[in-house]
Structure 1
Amino acid sequence: MIRLGLRLALAGGREAVLRLAIIVVAVAIGTGLLLSTVAGLNAVQTQNERYAWLNTGVVDTDGPGTADPAWWLLRGDYFHGDRIARVDVAATGPEEPVPPGIPRLPGPGEFYASPALARELRSTPADELADRFPEHLLGTIGAPGLPGPDALVVVAGDTPEHLSGLPGVHRVTRIASLDPSGCSSCRVGTDSDGMVLLLSVVAVALIFPLLMFIGTATRLSATRREQRFAAMRLIGATPPQISLIATVEATLATVVGLIAGFGVFFALRPGMATITFTETAFFTGDLSLGLRDVLAVVIGVPVAAAVAARVALRRVRISPLGVTRRVTPKPPRAWRLTLVVLGVAELAYFVGRRPATTNGQTTAYLTGIFAVMIGMVVAGPWLTMAGARLLAGRARRPAALIAGRRLADNPQAGFRAVSGLMLALFVTAVASGIITTLVDNRGAPVEGGSAADVALVQSFWPGTDESIAPPPALPGLLVTRHNPVFQADTDSPVGPGLIACSELASRPLFGRCPPGAQVAEVSQDLQGQHDGGTIAPVTVWQASAVTPAELAEQPILSVVVQTDGSAAAIERSRTILENAYPGREMLPATNGEFQGDFGKQLVQWQQLANVVILASLPIAGCSLAVAVAGGLTERKRPFSMLRLTGARLATLRQVVALESTVPLLLVAALAIGMGFLTAHLFLRAQMDYSLHSPGPAYYLLVLGGLVASLAIIASTLPLLRRITGPETARNE
């Protein structure tokens, strides 16, 4: 039977070869994307393990160890808006703990840099970057010590006497190996649990359209194959034998597609490694597959295809005449809307009742979102039937009446062709709505020339910086000082700073004092802030009762330098400040850079959303093309009979176009609307934000997808002339 199944699969002429080729392509694309997603999950975990050593000292690394103690200070620096992880170390003995990627700890005046930072050092003037570090570059940090190929990391040597006296320094005897996702105190790394959750959602968002695509391809020529298997039943074949033949036919194409899918994965891997949906890009080798992953895909995909084949031919297994005893399917009922309503109700319930724990939030929101997604698939046939009846009831032309009646007769088949596109549009609407709202509320870029762009701030923490050196001679420099009145009233170590109004008057960008005031209360960075971190310039600061003489006796709270906003000026000023105040745990930065950290995370999430959009829409388009072409092939005899009775070819083309276009536009509007509603409910429940409409790019992308879908439908219409001739009616 296996040999017969192989022969039937390969000896069915051009139609059989085309069907197998389409199934191979569907499985290959699906397998390649599935493997890429699994590899992405593995890469997140691998990258997080590479971050672990940077948290040495933050976690408990001072205790029984295998090395002499070393002093360790981790700080965060910036260069052109990108973060630099700087680790200052000082060995106290010959058996010092050594981080991965370097052969030994650097001594005083030495440092190691990541390859990306070394390239910047070679191409940037020294006063903008190199002067911040020791004189001698020993070499580059190897891949085991880097989270990604474009990470900016430096390990600088110091003397134990100097480093041990700096604030924030730690005494360590071993290098940390704890994954940052399992460490609440870790300062560097990614919450891999959250990223795995996010990637899992992406995987589901891609898998749903892929399953629709594979299912649609598997059903190609289903009627012809059912007739063939029914004839075999009539000459004595048993149901198990028919099932085995069908399974062999489906498995053959699936296995070939599975092998091709690994090729698709390796072709996608280099490009996927450049997508920075964590803090940095991946090494290509980190996008790897474990033996368990490979076995799960190799076994799971063919099994799923075999099950699909058996389900598709269930009528033949019931009776050899089951294929010819066809009746109109029962119309779908309104109960199919239940799951959608429950999903929306669940999301609405949590508005104002957000679960307290992360796991609770994950369960609440994902359950609701997936309920809406699956519910739309379940409700699709009912909605298609409703649209078809509306079309037939308002029909004024024969084509509209025929299309409406045919759709209402079998709405499941009409919806099946556009189900993949509906899921793709739903996912893109949810992703774009959430990302756009987050950017508008929390990550909107500051206006050019604002203080957040041009002001470099060096802050000092009270209690650890009693003796601050005089500020360097920098143009545009202002100094804020501690406020003794605030500290006496609240016992808080940090409060509004003070500045002399005579100084502030020279820099109107940072506001002004009220009339008659000599000293003003100001923020530490001379910039006001709203909740969420968005910058709000303050025009008039509040006057202080502190006199200028009392102000001069107060310790420095911060140094703020107004630059011209150019990258070179900011980096030169940053280098001067770091050299003027060496060893500070808080390094100088602009407010725009702090704000940009979250903005970059949003950009990374947007890249994930773009991946989903760019992957799911073409898949949905392929699914639509296969479904429409397959539907024409299955219905060529009825169309041939209509032509014999006098129906014009143009009328038949209008019928096919309407049968495909009505469900397409209906589910597109439903998917986009439900996607925005789902995004709005999630944002209200989780962050108390209202949905902001995506920008023109989103609507152009959706419009382009719909136009491409209509073009796909139009491209199949010329097939009608070839497959609906009189010979078709005679031969069938």
Structure 2
Amino acid sequence: MSLPPSPAGPARWARDLAMGMRFAAGGGRAGRVRTALTAAGVALGVAVLLLGASVPGLLDSWHGREQARENPGLLHPPRPADDTLQYATADTTFHGNPVRGRLVRPDGAHPPVPPGIERLPGPGHMLVSPALKELLDSPEGALLRGRLDYTVSGTIGDAGLLGPGELTYVARPAALAPADGYRIDRFGEGDGPPPLPASAVLLVVMVCVALLTPVLVVIGTSVRFGDERRERRLAALRLVGADLPTTRRIAAGEALFGSLLGLVAGGALFLAGRQLAPAVTLWDINVFASDVTPGPLAVALIAVLVPAAAVVVTLFAQRGVTVEPLGVVRHRPPVRRRLWWRVALPAAGALLLVPLTAERPWRDTPWNTARLAAGSMLLLWGVVALLPWLVQAVVGRLHRGPVSWQLAVRRLQLSSAPATRAVGGITVAVAGAIAVHMLMTGMQAGYARAYAESGKEPRIGLSGEARDWPRTQQALTALRATPGVTAARGYVDALAGPPSTGSKGPADPAGGTVVVVGSCAELRALARLEACHDGAVFTAATGRGATVTAGATLDLKPPADADEPARTRVRPWTVPRGARTVPLLAPGHGSGHVVPDVLATPSALDIRALDEPTVEFTADFDRGTPDAVEHLRNTAARIDPALRELSAVDNPHDARLSGIRTGLFAGAVLTLLLIGSGLVVSTVEQLHERRRLLSVLDAYGTRRATLGRSVLWQTAVPVVLGLGLALACGLALGALLLTMTGHAVTVDLPVVAALTGAGGAVILLVTALSLPALWRLMRPDGLRTE
């Protein structure tokens, strides 16, 4: 039997690749296992690549829906008409989850309607998202039902939601004062996506690097599963007349078949996995499954590059072996692994990253981002490159020990390439996971310290539009009567200016004067008042320039800029001659949200004469009272749904970072298990190759336990060395990243221990799954020959 004459050019490639694909499809049970492992590794990589390619489109869809349903208002709002409405923000928080609220009041019969809503709700009614409706209908939403005192008359469609898990509502109160919002005549004027903070950009870049680098290694490793069995089959092809180039193309065809199966399986895994997208919320981003869609160009590139990479990797690997007839595979003389270029990779990465630590805080510029990504990848690839040299250097110096140890060491001395290839994936996955977990742990600890510092006193600040002092007093009474509230303070502040000169020039911001109106008890929270009565006025030395003196006149309606239309004039207000100068309390004491220039009691200055007066409340609460914060928010909603909350009660970063950490840890463990499966195949193939030697050892009385331990050491040595490199690289990279962000260097010891333990579990798993094959091969029948 001999192979038919080879065609020329592309036809020869096509024939040889097709033959290799047939061998991969019909290679018996062992061949199918190898093909399945190759497909599984490639499928995991393809699914991650498709997910990464979906992120730009996902964010565009998310921000597009946000922009389509908003209108932040204009400097010159439209006049009331049949197609306008009054619009106000009424956001709140419930048990740490943000609840987006919008209040509307149509001016006519044809008001604008946001996406996802057919018609606006009637007076006293609201439309809610499906997630909010489910929460309101559940026992957990009882307190929230008391806050949203409207009748649910329908749900908001997907076009009006950022994601299926979003908590949002659109309500129409019985009355909506003009001061509570602004007038609009259309939706779709929302602001563009806000820029991510530098720390978030750094985290995103590192997550991408930590995910994609192991993916590339896994794909490269997966297409080489079963190399030794494949080379024996290629030797048989040499016997029937195939030349070396033909055998290499056939080997590439086998890898191509597994990669194509992995490509299809990866696409299916991606389509199935994206159905879980609605259940995932990261950084307050929750999307629909249809949003997770990669672009056509990205899909085409992945579909072409992944199989092409499988062919290239296999052809490159075949250059290191010489396949001869009669079932002989002779490797070329071992070449001494050179160290200089392996050290150059992490050194170049360090040279890119270390200078970034001097730039505090780290700035998000294109150049810095490129250096961060390139430096991190070079460090991780340097670990993969260093591992083969380290394994060869270490095992070359290991000699003494029990029989099981010597058998394992000798095997690694003869050929450590299959083990180091697989362990390289473990190394880079663990190193990247440790670095990112350190970064997130440091950031999380920094946020926790900041929130703990700002939240030492259990306190919530509330801010909104002021109407008159009697309503402010009623609000203070309601706050003080709230369960769990221990104290409540409040005042009204506004910005005044010098009397208008009639010129068209813009107002001088530096000349603005902060006026605070409140009762004597409330003003004592801002300044030290020896004597006070209703009708008194005080001035304060603020250190911001000239102090307002008694007898000065203030313009209570200062123009914002030169283009502002003429306002309804009010008589300039004169600071009474008897106003005394008082010292202010230390900043941050009491309810000191502002630094006032003038302090007045309600009888001395009518709030309604001020320009856009703002009421500021501060409420202290008892942490021991169950749901004290939620009761306080309910009271604030009854006072004015548009009140804005200013507090450090909830730390949203904990849930965000914990979710990412959990996902990365799960991904790293999955990668370890997949690569461990490849190690099982490699170890079993090596046992089959040594079946005659194993039969000889069995005939001489070598115990099975001795050979079992040799398999354990053979797996353990590369894995332990790889984990050592991963720990060193991951800790160094994590320390560099934390230094860039200005956070204290914190080691995520539970994750480091868990990943190290997972690496040890891989060793035990490989050994346990290899023992049945070892027992089958340790038989005298293995000495029979023809």
Query: What TM-score, normalized by structure 2, do the two folds share?
Result: 0.74
8 A contact 2:70–2:187 mirrored in 1: no
Letter in 2 for 1:119: E
Aligned: 1:283 with 2:288: yes
Alignment of 1:469 with 2:445, yes or no, is no
Structure 1 partner of 2:716:
661
Do structure 1's residue 339 and structure 2's residue 345 form an aligned pair?
A: yes
Rounded to whole Å, the distance in 2 between the matches of 1:352 and 1:494 is 44
Paired with 1:301 and 1:647, the residues of 2 have a C-alpha distance of 46
Tell which deviates more after alignment, 413-422 or 433-442: 413-422
Residue of structure 2 equivalent to 1:457: 461
Q: Which amino acid aligns with 1:374?
A: W
User: Which of 354, 368, 386 is the aligned partner of 1:348?
Assistant: 354
Shift of residue 130, structure 1, vs aligned partner: 4.1
Deviations 1:301-322 (A, max 9, x none): 3333233333333367898799
Q: Deviations over 1:425-470 (max 9, x none)?
A: 112211221111112121259779x966853322358xx7785621
The residue number in structure 1 matching 2:566 is none
Structure 1 position 558, deviation (Å): 2.3
Among 561, 578, 592, the alignment partner of 2:637 is 578
Tell me how far 1:82 sits from its aligned partner: 1.3
Aligned residue number for residue 537 of structure 1: none
Partners in 2 of 1:220 and 1:723 — Cα distance? 21
User: 1:171 is matched with which residue: 156, 166, 184?
Assistant: 184
2:327 maps to 1:314: no
CA contact (8 A) 1:205 1:612 kept: no
Opposite residue 575 of structure 1, the aligned amino acid is N
Q: Within 2, Cα distance between the matches of 1:695 and 1:306?
A: 41
- Counterparts in 2 of 1:317 and 1:411: CA distance versus 1, 3 Å: closer
Call closer, same or farther: CA 1:136–1:519 in 2, change over 3 Å.
farther
How far did 1:609 drift? 2.8
DSSP 3-state at the match of 1:396 = coil
Q: How many positions carry a matched residue from both structures?
A: 685
Which of 672, 675, 687 pairs up with 1:632? 687
1:364 aligns with 2:367: no
The 1-side partners of 2:621 and 2:785 are apart by 85
Q: Does 1:381 align with 2:388?
A: yes
Structure 2 match to 1:269: 274
Counterparts in 2 of 1:262 and 1:547: CA distance versus 1, 3 Å: closer
1:690 CA drift (Å): 2.4
**Alignment match, 2:256:** 251
CA distance in 2: counterparts of 1:327 and 1:162, whole angstroms: 85
Taking the aligned partners of 1:214 and 1:527, their CA distance within structure 2 comes to 59
Query: For residue 512 of structure 1, what is the aligned residue in structure 2?
Result: none
Could you report, residue by residue, the CA deviation over 1:544-594 in whole angstroms, capped at 9, with x for unpaired residues?
99999899989864231425555644333322223324544x2x354212x
Check conservation: 1:683, 1:689, Cα contact below 8 A: yes
Q: CA deviation at 1:340?
A: 1.4
Q: Secondary structure at the match of 2:649?
A: helix
Name the residue aligned to 2:424.
419
Which consecutive residues of structure 2, in runs of 5 or more, have no partner in the other structure? 1-14, 499-509, 526-581, 608-614
Distance 1:551 1:305 in 2: 83
Give me the whole-angstrom Cα distance separating, in 1, the residues matched to 2:75 and 2:393.
64
Relative distance call for 1:698 and 1:339 in structure 2 (3 A) is closer
What SS class does the counterpart of residue 347 from structure 1 fall into?
Answer: helix
Deviation at 1:727, TM superposition (A): 4.3
Output the amino acid matched with 2:153. Answer: L
Candidates 728, 739, 757, aligned match of 1:684? 739
Task: Quickly say closer, same or farther: Cα 1:451–1:352, change in 2 above 3 A.
Answer: closer
Counterpart Cα distance in 1 of 2:633 and 2:286: 26
1:121 to 108, 126, 136: 136
Where 2:396 maps in the other structure, the secondary structure is: helix
CA distance in 2, matches of 1:359, 1:638: 59
Tell me if the contact between 2:84 and 2:186 (Cα under 8 Å) persists in the aligned partners.
Answer: yes
Q: 1:526 to 1:499 in 2, by over 3 A?
A: farther
Measured in 1, the distance between the counterparts of 2:365 and 2:75 equals: 25
Q: In the alignment, which residue of structure 2 is the partner of 1:440?
A: 445
Partner SS for 1:176:
coil
Superimposed CA distance per residue, residues 93-137 of structure 1 (whole angstroms, 9 cap, x where no aligned partner): 444332111013345434322122223333469994345446443
Question: Cα distance 1:317–1:391, how it changes in 2: closer, same or farther (>3 A)?
Answer: closer
Distance 2:762 2:48 in 1: 22
Report the Cα offset of residue 699 of structure 1: 1.9
Distance 1:194 1:266, change over 3 A: farther
Cα distance, 1:240 vs structure 2 = 5.4
Task: Identify the residue that residue 81 of structure 1 maps to in structure 2.
Answer: 96
Separation in 2 of the partners of 1:614 and 1:242?
A: 36
SS in 2 for 1:391: coil
* Counterparts of 1:264 and 1:253, CA distance in 2: 16
Structure-1 separation of matches of 2:592 and 2:771? 63
CA contact (8 A) 1:45 1:192 kept: no
- The corresponding residue for 1:511 is none
Contact 2:226 2:685 in 1 (8 A): yes
Task: Name the SS of the counterpart of 2:103 in structure 1.
Answer: strand
1:23-62 correspondence to structure 2 within 5 Å = 23-39=38-54, 42-57=57-72
Q: Which segment drifts farther, 247-256 or 66-75?
A: 66-75
Map Cα deviations across residues 394-429 of structure 1 (whole Å, 9 max, x no partner).
x23344344334434444334223112111211221
Q: Which amino acid aligns with 1:477?
A: A
Q: Percent identity?
A: 27
Relative to structure 1, is the Cα distance of residues 688 and 116 closer, same or farther in structure 2, using a 3 angstrom cutoff? same
CA contact (8 A) 1:54 1:74 kept: no
Alignment partner, residue 585 of structure 2: 521
Q: After superposition, give the CA deviation of every residue in 1:18-71 in whole Å (9 maximum; x if it has no partner).
A: 32233233333333444344445543432232222354226999799x994444
Unaligned runs of 5+ in 1: 185-190, 505-517, 530-541
Which one-letter code corresponds to 2:585 in the other structure? E
- What is the identity, as a one-letter code, of the residue corresponding to 1:592? V
Q: Which residue of 2 aligns with 1:591?
A: 648
Tell me, yes or no, if the aligned pair for 1:454 and 1:563 is still in contact at 8 Å. Answer: yes
What is the CA RMSD across the aligned residues, in angstroms? Answer: 4.6
Q: How does 1:111-150 map to 2 (within 5 A)?
A: 111-123=126-138, 128-130=143-145, 132-133=147-148, 135-150=150-165
* Secondary structure in 2 matching 1:418: helix
CA distance 1:704–1:500, shift in 2 (3 Å): farther
Structure 2: how far apart are the matches of 1:569 and 1:589?
A: 16
Distance of aligned partners of 1:600 and 1:21 in 2 relative to their CA distance in 1, 3 Å threshold: closer
Letter in 1 for 2:636: L
2:621 aligns with 562
Check whether the contact 1:418–1:620 (CA below 8 A) recurs between aligned residues. Answer: yes
CA-to-aligned-CA distance 1:190-227 (integer Å, 9 cap, x gap): x5999898667545534444444444443344234324
Q: Are the counterparts in 2 of residues 35 and 265 from structure 1 also a CA contact under 8 Å? A: yes
Counterpart AA for 1:455: R
Distance 2:53 2:602 in 1: 63
Counterpart residue type for residue 178 of structure 2? S
What TM-score do you get using the length of structure 1 for normalisation? Answer: 0.79
